[in-house]
Amino acid sequence: MRTQIPPSDTQLWTAGAEGDETAIERLFERHARAVYNHAYRLSGSWSVAEDVTQITFVTAWRRRREARLVDGSVLPWLLVVATNAARAEHRSWRRWHALLRRVPPEPEATSDPADEVADRLYDEQRMRDLLALVRRLPRAEREAVALCVWSGVPYSQAATILGVTEGAVRSRVSRARSRLARMVANQKLEER
In this model, does residue 163 exceed pLDDT 60? yes
For residues 171 and 175, what is the distance between their CA atoms, to the nearest angstrom?
6
In this model, does residue 121 exceed pLDDT 80? no
For residues 121 and 127, what is the distance between their CA atoms, to the nearest angstrom?
10
Amino acid at 46: W
Query: What are 25-72's pLDDT values in tens digits?
Result: 898 899 999 999 999 988 888 888 999 999 998 988 888 778 788 888
Query: φ and ψ at 153, to 5 degrees?
Result: -70, 130
Q: What pLDDT was estimated at residue 1?
A: 60
115 in a structural domain: no
114 in a structural domain: no
CATH number of the domain residue 74 falls in:
1.10.1740.10
Give kind and range of the element (H or E) at residue 146. none
How many distinct structural domains can be found in the chain? 2
The residue segments making up the domain with residue 38 are 1-102
Q: Are 148 and 160 within 8 A, CB to CB?
A: no
Q: Are residues 7 and 87 in the same domain?
A: yes
Mean pLDDT for the stretch of residues 99-103: 68
Residue with more model confidence, 63 or 103:
63
In this model, does residue 107 exceed pLDDT 90? no
Q: Are residues 92 and 7 in the same domain?
A: yes
How does the average pLDDT of the chain come out, rounded? 84
In this model, does residue 130 exceed pLDDT 70? yes
Measured at the CA of 151, the angle between CA 72 and CA 31, to 5 degrees, comes to 50
Q: What pLDDT was estimated at residue 43?
A: 86
Q: Are 86 and 151 within 8 A, CB to CB?
A: no
Is the pTM of the predicted complex or chain greater than 0.85? no
Alpha helices in the chain (DSSP H): 9-17, 21-43, 46-62, 75-101, 115-134, 139-144, 155-162, 166-191
166 in a structural domain: yes
- % of the chain surpassing 90 pLDDT: 24
Q: Are 150 and 37 within 8 A, CB to CB?
A: yes
Q: What pLDDT was estimated at residue 33?
A: 95
